[in-house]
Structure 1
Amino acid sequence: MIKKILYLLLFVNIQISLFSQNAPQPSHYKPINVSGLVVDQNTNNGLPGAHVSFISQRDSSNVYRTATDTQGHYKIDLPRGSYKIVTTFLGYNPQESIVKVNQQSTDIPTIKLQFTDAMLDEFVVAEKAPTVQQKNDTLQYNAIAFKTNPDASAEDLVKKMPGISVDGSGIKAQGEDVQKVLVDGQEFFGDDASIALKNLPAEMIEQVQVFDKLSDQAQLTGFNDGQTTKTINIVTRSDKRSGQFGKIYGGYGDKQQYQAGINTNIFHNKQRISILGMANNVNQQNFSSEDLSGFMGGSSRGGGMRGGSGPRGGGSFGRNDFMINQQNGINTTHSIGLNYTDVWYNKVNVNSSYFFNSSKNVSEQFTDRQYFISNEATQMYLDSSSSNSKNFNHRFNARIEYKINDNNTVIFSPRLSYQNTHSNSLSNASSFLAEEVLLNQSITDYERLWDGYNMSGNLVYRLKINDKGRSLSSSISVNANNNEYLYFLDASNSYFQDNTLVNELIDQKSNTLSDNASYQGNLSYTEPLGKNGLLQLSYNLSLSDNASDRMTNSFDIISQSYIIAEDDLSGLISNGYLTNRGSLGYRLRNEKYNFNADLSYQDASLTANQSTPYVYKVERSFKSILPRLHFTYNFSKTKNLRLVYRTYTNAPSASQLQDVVDNTNPLLLSSGNPDLNQTYSHFLMSRFSLGNPANNTSFLLFLMATLSDDYIGSSVFIAPKDT
C-alpha cells in the first residue's frame, strides 16, 4: 500500500513538472530586442568590433555582451529591466550610461566614443624559453634562457651555450672553427668572427643561430657546392633595431697599465653604423686571419743537430709569425673600426667595413724538448728566447647585392688589406745528449720586416628563368697578393768537429719577394626534375700562379756591406696549378629530409720551375673523382640527423716546393720538397640533435673524421754526422 502511494505521488509530481514547462510565461520574462549604434565622436563613422556590455542594475552578476558589426551596429535580446551600458573600443575612452528596457523593442541612443592619445599600460606574458631549437640545418639558441651580467658582451653569452666554445685559439661551434659572425643576416666587419662577439652587448640579442653558410652562388641556386662556412648569426631584439646605444669605458692601474675603448651603434631600421675603438696594454686583442696580408710559407724553431754547423742562409716566414687571435706575451693594442650596412632603393643591399689595428708585443719563451732517436739514444733540446714586434694593418671589406628584378641578381664582394710588421728576437739554444753532454749551441739575433698587401674580388650573377627552379648562374673570383720579407740574421754557433770545439759567426741578410695570384670561374645550370627534385650541371676553371724569389748575402768586413752571395741559400721558383672540373648534382627535399649529392671529375696539372740554387722542373697531372653528399633527416621538430661527406684537393705552394735551406734557427734547418704531390682529402661529419622544450634540455652528438692521401706535413730528420 505504501509503495502504491509513493508511485502515485511520483507520477503526480512528474505531471505537474511537465505541465509547468508548457505553461505560458508572464510577459515580463519575454526577451526584448535591443539595438543601437557606436560611432566616432569626431567623424560619426561607425566603429566595427566595439564591445557593448549590459550590466543588470538589480543583479550585477548578470552581464549580457555583444559587439558591433562592420558598420558599428549591434543587436541583442535582453529581459526587461534597468541596465548600465559599458562601451569600449581600442584607442578610445570607454563610455557608460543607464538605460531602461521595458518595451517590445528598444532603440538605444547612438553611443559616441572619444579618441584618446593615452597608451595602454605594458603587459608581459612570461613563458620559459627553450634553450636550443633545431630548425632544418640551423641550430638556434634563445638568449633569454642564459643568464648573464648586465654589462655582458655577446662573447660572454655564447660561452654559456652548449656546443660553442671561445678561447685564445678562436671560436668553435659544433666542433668546427667559426669563420664568420653575422648580425641579423648581415656581415659585421667582414670575416672577423671575434669582433662582433666582443663588441655587441648581450642584452640586445634575442637569438644566436649556428649553421653552415653556403657560398653566394650556392645560395642563389639552392645547391650546396661544398664551399660552406661555419657561421654564427646574431638575431637582435626588435626593440633594439632602431636607436643609438653603446658604451665608453676606461681605466688606469699600477705598473702603468691602462684600458680604454668606445663602442657606438647607430641603428635605424635597415641602416646601421657601428664605430669601435680600443686602446690597452692588458692583452685585449683584435686580430683576424685577414690581417695576415696573404703571407705564406713555413718556419719553425727548435730541434737539434748531431753536429756540424750545417749550411748557412736566410730564413723564411710563415703564418705562425703573425698575430692571430690571442698572442702570447704582453700586448699593447690600438685599433679602430667602422661598419656600415644599408639598403638603397629597396634593391641594393650594401655592407662595408674598415678596420685599422696597431699592436706591440713583448714575449719570453722557454722550450724543453726531448727527441727519441732509438731505443737507447735520446737527445735534449733547450731554447730560451725573447722577442718584440710592432704590427700595423689596414683592412677593408664590402658586399654589394643588387636585385635588378625578380629574375636577375648580382653580388660583388671586394676585399683589400695591407700589413707592415717589424720584429726582433734573441735566442739561446743548445742540444745535449742524455748524459748532458753538450753537442752544439747557438746564440742568434733576428731582425725581421714584412710588408705586403692582399686584394680580391668575387662577382656572382644569377638569372632566374622560371619559378620552378630553372636558373643560370656564373661567378668570377680574382685574388692577388704581393709580399716582401727582409731578414737579418746574426748568430754565434758552437759545435764539435773531430772532438774539437769550433766557433762560427754568421751575419747574413735575406730578402724574399713573393707574388701570388689566383683566378676562378664557375658556370652552373639548374633544371627542375620532378615535384621536389632539382638537377644541376656545372663547370669550374681555376688557375693559380705563385712565385718566390729569395736572395741571401753574407756580410763582407772589407766593404762593410752584404755583398757575399750565398747561392746555396738563395732560390727562385715559380709554380702553377690549373684545374678543370665538371659536376653533375641532384637535390631532393621535402618536409622530412633534404638530400643533396653531386659527382665531379677534375683534371689538374701542377708545374714548377726552379732556376736557383739549381735548375729543377716539375710537371705533374692528377685526375680525380670528387663525390660530395649532404643529407638531413628531420624525425620531428626536436630531433634531427645530418650527414656530410665531401672530398677535396690541395696543391703545394711555391715555398713548400722550393728546395732552399732555411736557417732561421741554425740548430734546426729546414727546406721545401720539390717532389710533393697534391693532397686528396676525405671529410666525414655526422651530427645528431635532440631537444626537449618541456624540460628545457638538449642533446648534441658530433662525429667527424678526416683522411688525407699525400698529406703535406713536416718531417724531422736528425743527422748522425755532419751534413
Structure 2
Amino acid sequence: MKIIYALLTIMLFAGIKQSKAQTAKTVSGIVKDSTGLSVIGATIKLKAGKDSVMTATDANGAFTFNNVQSATFDLTFTSIGFQSLKRHIITAGDNKPAALGTIVLKFESHMLNGVTITDINPVKLKEDTIEFKADAYKVRDNAPVEDVLKKLPGVDIDKDGNMTAQGKSVTKVRVNGKDFFGGDLKTATKNLPADIVENIQIIDDYGDQANLTGVKTGEPEKILNITVKPSKNYGYFGQATVGDGADAIPQEKDNRYVASATAFSFSGDRQLALLGNLNNTNTNLFSFGGGGPRSGGPGGPPPGAGSSTSANGITTARSLGLNYRDSWGKKITAYGSYSYSDNTTNTISSTIQNNAALGSQIINNVSSNQTDEKINHRFNFNIEYKPDTVNYLKFVPTITYAGVKTNQSASSLIQQNDATVSDYNLLSTLSSSAPNYGANLLYNHRFNSKGRNFSINVSAGSAKLDQTQNPVYTYLSGTANAPINQLINTNVRTDTVGTTLSYMEPISKHSYLELNYAYHYAYTTSDKETDTLTTLGTRNNYALLSNDYNFTFITNKFGLNYRYIQKKYNYTLGISAQPSILEGNSLTTGTQTRVTTFNVAPTARFIYNFSRSQSLSLNYNGASNQPTYNELQPVVDFSNASYPVQGNANLKPEFNNNFTLRYNQFNFASGNILFTNLSFTQTNNKIVANTISYPKVYTPNAKLAGTILTNYLNADGFYGGNANYVFAKPWEKRKYTLMLTGNIAYNNNISYISNVAADTYDMTTEKNIAKNMVITQGTKFRLDITDVIDAELSASYSINHTDNSISTANVNNNFKTINLGLNGKNYVFKDYTLSYDYSKVIYQGYTGATNPNILNVYAERRFLKNNIGTLRLSAFDLFNQNTGYTSTGTGTYTTQTQANRLGRYYLLSFTLKLQKFAGKRPSPGDGPPGGPGGRFPGGGMGGPPPGGE
C-alpha cells in the first residue's frame, strides 16, 4: 500500500508540474507617453497571487516577462514624471506569448512622496531643450549651482564664470521660467545653492512670440533655466562673507579684501533676492555687457573654485542688486530687478600689432596705463496678465545707464620696414554717459478653433550717448598727423520702433498656415564737434574733424510659413521678402545718400524625435544686418592718431544665410551622451574693412601722412562654418566620467588692403582673402565620490592657422596652444576641504609669450551648529605667473597683447550661511524662521566666499 501511495503522490506532483509548464508564457509590451514617445527606464511590477516580479523598459520602451505561469495577473507601471498605472490582465490558459501592445502613461504634475530613488535618469531630450536632473550630479552641501554646471556634459565654465553649452555662449538665465536679475547669468550660477535645484535646462529660445505660436524661425538664443524643487518653494536662506588678505609681492603689498551678502526668500509665487558685494579681487557681481564706449573688458563675476581670474587689470568692485517676483492675484504675475555697480579698473598693457600692407611690414608697439571708472544701473520689469485661458498680455519696460571716466597714458611707435614712421606719447581723458530707455508689449489671443492664433509684439526704445574726449599728443619723431590737443564732443541718439504681427490658421488636423509681418524703424543722429587748442591757449572749431550726421534705416518683412506637426516629427517651411531703405544726410558736408535693397529668403526647420533620448533638428533662416554709425559717417575720426577711421555713407545692409544641424543622443542603459552641432553662414554684401597705408610724407592731406586709415566697403565671398561634438561616458553611477570634446571652425574672411605710393601718391588696392581655421580637441576625466573627492583632469590642443591670399600682407599666422589642468576638492574628516586648481598653458608660434603655471589652493573648515560657519584660507597664483596674454587676427592685422592681472595674494575669509525650507506654506503656529532665537538651522546656501570661489 505504501508503494501505491508513493506512486500516486509522484504522479500527482508530476501532473501539477506539467500543468504549470503548459501555462508558462512570455508577456511583453511597450510603454509610451501621451505624445507617442517611448518611456525609458519605467518600472513594471507583475503580481500573481502572493508572488511578484519586477523589470524595467529598455531604450525603446519595451519590456518582457518570461515564464509567467498564471493566466491572470496585475501589472503596475511607474516612472518619474508620470502617473502610476495599474492593470488587471487576463490571458488564455496556454503557453502562447501574450503581447499587450502599447501602454500609455500620462504625465504627472505633482511630486511623488515616499519614493526612494537609487539612480535616476540624468538627461531628457526635448525639441529645443536639454534637461539635466540636478540630483544626478552630486555636489558638496552648500555648493553653488555653478558646481553642478561644471559636471554637465557639453557645458563649459571658464575661470570668470562665463558659460558655453554645446559650443555656443549662454547669454541669459531664468529661474522657474522667469528672468532672474534681468537674465544676468552669473548672479544665479554663483549665488543660488545647488541643493534647492530640481532641474537644469539648456534651451534654444526663439523669443516669447515664437514660444506662444510654435512657429520658430531665426537664430535662437542659448539660455539657462533653473527650476527649484517644490520642497524648497517656501523658505529663506542667506550668506555673508568677510575676508582680508594681502599681496605676496614685496614691492606691492596691497591689501586685498572682500565683503559680500546674499539673501533669498521663497514663499510660493513670491521670490525675493538681495545681493551686495565689495572687493578688490576682480570679482564683479553683475555682467552689464558694455557700459559705454570704453568700458567692458576687466572684471566679471567671482572666479571658480579657488581659481585666479583671467580678467585683465586690477578691479575694485562695488555692487548691489534686488530681484523680485510675485503673483498679483490670480491673473497677474510680476517680476523684475535692479542692479548697480561702481567699478574702478587699472590696466597696464603692451601690444605688438602687425598691420597688413602691400610689399612692406608695418609694426606698431604700444604701451598703455589706463584707469576706468564705470558706473552702471539696470532696471527691468515684467508684467504678465492672463485674464482668461485665451488671452495673454506681457509688458516689459527697461532702463539702463552706463557712465565711464577714463584716464590713459600711452606711447606708440610705428615702424615701416624698420624705419620710424611715428613716435609719440599720449595723455587722454574721456567722460561719457549713456542712458537707454525701452519698452516691449506682447499680446496673444487664441481663438476657439484649435490652433487659430493671433499675436502682436510692439517695441520702442531710445539710446543716447554724450561723450567728451581730450587726447593730447607729444610727438617725439616722425610725422605729427593729428592735432596735438583735441577736445572732442560727441552726442549720439538712436530712436527705434518696431512691431511684429503673426496670424496662424489651422488647415488640417496636423498642419497650420502662418502669416507674419515685421516692421522696424531706426533713426540715428550724431553731432560731433572737434575743437583744437591754439598756441594762444584758445580753442577753435576744427571743421575737418567735425560732423553732424544722421541716418534712417527702415525694414519691412513679409512672411508666409507652413507648419506640420506629428508625434515624432514636425517641420516648418516658409518664405519671406524684406525690402529695406537706408538714408543718410550730413548737415556738415551736405552729402545725402539713399540705398535700397530687396532680399528674399526661404525658411526651413525640421525636428525629428527618434525617441525620448534621440533627436535631430535642421534649421535655416535669412536676416539682414544694418551698418553701424561708425561704418556710415563720412568724416575722418582722428581719436587715435595712428589709426583714423572714416565711414562710407553708401554702404548696403548685409544679408546673412544661416544653416544649423543638430543631433543629440542619450543612451539610458549605458548613460552615454552625444551632442553634435554643425552650423554654416554665408553673407551677401558683407561689410568689410579697407585699410589704407599712407607714406610718411603725403602732401594732399598732411594729416593722413604715416597713418593707416580704415574705411568700409561691401563685399561678397564671406562664409564660415563650425562643427563641434561632445561625448560623455559615465560609469559606476557617474562616479567616473570620461568626456571628449572637439571643435573645428573655418572662416573665409574678406578684406581690402590699399597702399599709397610715396612718390606718385597713386593708390593700389587688392582684395585679401584670409582663410582661417581653428581646430581644438580636448578630453576630461571626472572623479565624483560624494563627500570624498570631486576632481577633474583635463587636456586640450588647439591649432589656429590663417592663410592670406596676398602673400605680401605679412599677417599670416600659425599658432598652437596646449592647455593642461587639474582641479578638485578633497573632503577630509567630514568638515575639512582642500581645494586645488592647477593650469598650464603652452604657446607655440607667439612672439614673446610665456607659458604660465597657475596654481590656486584653499583649505576650509566648516563649524558651528549644522555647519553654518566656514573659515577659509586661500592662496592665489602661488607661482605669480598670472600675466594676461591674448592674440587676435584678421585679414588686416594681427595683435599680441600682454596685460597685468591680479597676481599672487592670500585671503582669510569667514562665511556664515543660514537657511530654512519647507515644501508648503508654514502654518501660523510655526513662528518666525528658525524659532524664537532667530537662528536658521541647516546647512547653507550659496558657494564659498567671493575671491576664493
2:888 is matched with none
Q: Which runs of 5+ in 2 are unaligned?
A: 16-49, 51-112, 247-253, 302-309, 699-703, 705-949
1:418 aligned onto 2:401: yes
2:498 is matched with 520
1:538 is matched with 516
Query: C-alpha distance in 1, partners of 2:428/2:673?
Result: 52
Query: Do the aligned partners of 1:493 and 1:503 also contact (CA within 8 Å) in 2?
Result: no
Query: C-alpha distance in 2, partners of 1:603/1:279?
Result: 51
2:460 is matched with 478
Q: Helix, strand or coil for the counterpart of 1:456?
A: strand
Give how far 1:202 is off: 1.9
Q: Deviations over 1:574-612 (max 9, x none)?
A: 100111211111111122112123211111111000122
Output the TM-score relative to the length of structure 2: 0.59
Equivalent AA in structure 1 for residue 450 of structure 2: K
Give how far 1:227 is off: 6.1
2:676 maps to which of 692, 698, 701: 701
Query: Do the aligned partners of 2:483 and 2:532 also contact (CA within 8 Å) in 1?
Result: no
Equivalent AA in structure 1 for residue 644 of structure 2: L
Query: Do the aligned partners of 2:161 and 2:186 also contact (CA within 8 Å) in 1?
Result: no
Output the TM-score relative to the length of structure 1: 0.76
Listed as ranges, the matches of 1:35-74 within 5 Å are none
Q: Taking CA–CA contacts closer than 8 Å with sequence separation of 6 or more, which of the two structures ends up with the larger relative contact order?
A: 2
Q: Deviations over 1:272-316 (max 9, x none)?
A: 001111111000113434653xx5xxxxxxxxxxxxxxxxxxxxx
2:942 is matched with none
Listed as ranges, the matches of 1:255-654 within 5 Å are 255-289=254-288, 292=291, 317=293, 327-371=311-355, 373-374=357-358, 377-434=360-417, 436-496=418-478, 506-558=484-536, 560-561=537-538, 563-612=539-588, 614-654=589-629
Q: For the structure 1 residues 433 and 605, does the alpha-carbon distance in structure 2 shift closer, same or farther, using more than 3 Å as the test?
A: closer
2:129 is matched with 138
Q: For the structure 1 residues 287 and 444, does the alpha-carbon distance in structure 2 shift closer, same or farther, using more than 3 Å as the test?
A: farther
Query: C-alpha distance in 2, partners of 1:374/1:450?
Result: 38
1:193 maps to which of 143, 166, 185: 185
Equivalent AA in structure 2 for residue 610 of structure 1: S
Equivalent AA in structure 2 for residue 629 of structure 1: A
1:114 is matched with none
Give how far 1:203 is off: 2.2
Give how far 1:458 is off: 0.6
Give how far 1:150 is off: 3.1
Query: Do the aligned partners of 1:610 and 1:617 also contact (CA within 8 Å) in 2?
Result: yes
Equivalent AA in structure 1 for residue 273 of structure 2: S
Equivalent AA in structure 2 for residue 132 of structure 1: V
Query: C-alpha distance in 1, partners of 2:142/2:298?
Result: 32
Equivalent AA in structure 1 for residue 388 of structure 2: N
2:718 is matched with none
Give how far 1:322 is off: 8.9
Q: For the structure 1 residues 259 and 467, does the alpha-carbon distance in structure 2 shift closer, same or farther, using more than 3 Å as the test?
A: farther
Q: For the structure 1 residues 331 and 212, does the alpha-carbon distance in structure 2 shift closer, same or farther, using more than 3 Å as the test?
A: same
Q: Helix, strand or coil for the counterpart of 2:282?
A: coil
Give how far 1:539 is off: 1.6
Q: Helix, strand or coil for the counterpart of 2:151?
A: coil
Q: For the structure 1 residues 203 and 607, does the alpha-carbon distance in structure 2 shift closer, same or farther, using more than 3 Å as the test?
A: same
Q: For the structure 1 residues 379 and 270, does the alpha-carbon distance in structure 2 shift closer, same or farther, using more than 3 Å as the test?
A: same
Q: Helix, strand or coil for the counterpart of 1:190?
A: helix
Query: C-alpha distance in 2, partners of 1:410/1:653?
Result: 33
Q: Helix, strand or coil for the counterpart of 2:375?
A: strand
Give how far 1:662 is off: 2.1
Query: Do the aligned partners of 1:217 and 1:460 also contact (CA within 8 Å) in 2?
Result: yes
Query: Do the aligned partners of 1:547 and 1:654 also contact (CA within 8 Å) in 2?
Result: no
Q: For the structure 1 residues 719 and 505, does the alpha-carbon distance in structure 2 shift closer, same or farther, using more than 3 Å as the test?
A: closer
1:690 is matched with 665
Single out whichever of 160-169 and 617-626 deviates more from structure 2: 160-169
Query: C-alpha distance in 2, partners of 1:324/1:237?
Result: 29
Query: C-alpha distance in 1, partners of 2:297/2:424?
Result: 21
1:313 is matched with none
1:655 aligned onto 2:630: yes
Query: C-alpha distance in 1, partners of 2:427/2:363?
Result: 22
Q: For the structure 1 residues 204 and 456, does the alpha-carbon distance in structure 2 shift closer, same or farther, using more than 3 Å as the test?
A: same
Query: Do the aligned partners of 2:503 and 2:515 also contact (CA within 8 Å) in 1?
Result: yes
1:211 is matched with 203
Listed as ranges, the matches of 1:39-188 within 5 Å are 125-167=116-158, 168=160, 170-188=162-180
Q: Helix, strand or coil for the counterpart of 1:715?
A: strand
* Percent of pairs with identical residues: 28
Q: For the structure 1 residues 15 and 439, does the alpha-carbon distance in structure 2 shift closer, same or farther, using more than 3 Å as the test?
A: closer
Query: C-alpha distance in 2, partners of 1:206/1:346?
Result: 25
Query: Do the aligned partners of 2:298 and 2:313 also contact (CA within 8 Å) in 1?
Result: no
Equivalent AA in structure 2 for residue 450 of structure 1: S
Query: Do the aligned partners of 1:493 and 1:505 also contact (CA within 8 Å) in 2?
Result: no
Query: C-alpha distance in 1, partners of 2:10/2:345?
Result: 105
Give how far 1:533 is off: 1.2
Query: C-alpha distance in 1, partners of 2:9/2:222?
Result: 83
Query: C-alpha distance in 2, partners of 1:17/1:281?
Result: 91
Number of residue pairs matched by the alignment: 585
Query: Do the aligned partners of 2:573 and 2:604 also contact (CA within 8 Å) in 1?
Result: yes
RMSD: 2.7
Query: C-alpha distance in 2, partners of 1:16/1:126?
Result: 47
Q: Helix, strand or coil for the counterpart of 2:690?
A: coil
Query: Do the aligned partners of 1:442 and 1:667 also contact (CA within 8 Å) in 2?
Result: no
Query: Do the aligned partners of 1:347 and 1:404 also contact (CA within 8 Å) in 2?
Result: yes
Query: C-alpha distance in 2, partners of 1:350/1:508?
Result: 49
2:707 is matched with none
Single out whichever of 142-151 and 184-193 deviates more from structure 2: 142-151
Q: Deviations over 1:341-364 (max 9, x none)?
A: 111212111111111111000010
Query: Do the aligned partners of 1:208 and 1:232 also contact (CA within 8 Å) in 2?
Result: yes
Query: Do the aligned partners of 1:137 and 1:632 also contact (CA within 8 Å) in 2?
Result: no
Structure showing greater Rg: 1
Q: For the structure 1 residues 414 and 228, does the alpha-carbon distance in structure 2 shift closer, same or farther, using more than 3 Å as the test?
A: farther
Query: Do the aligned partners of 1:132 and 1:140 also contact (CA within 8 Å) in 2?
Result: yes
Q: Helix, strand or coil for the counterpart of 2:596?
A: strand
Q: Helix, strand or coil for the counterpart of 2:687?
A: coil
Q: Helix, strand or coil for the counterpart of 1:195?
A: helix
Single out whichever of 144-153 and 350-359 deviates more from structure 2: 144-153
Query: C-alpha distance in 2, partners of 1:365/1:717?
Result: 26
Q: Deviations over 1:410-436 (max 9, x none)?
A: 1101110112211111110101244x4
Give how far 1:323 is off: 6.9
Query: Do the aligned partners of 1:289 and 1:324 also contact (CA within 8 Å) in 2?
Result: no
Q: Helix, strand or coil for the counterpart of 1:668?
A: coil
1:52 is matched with none
2:36 is matched with none
Give how far 1:10 is off: 5.2
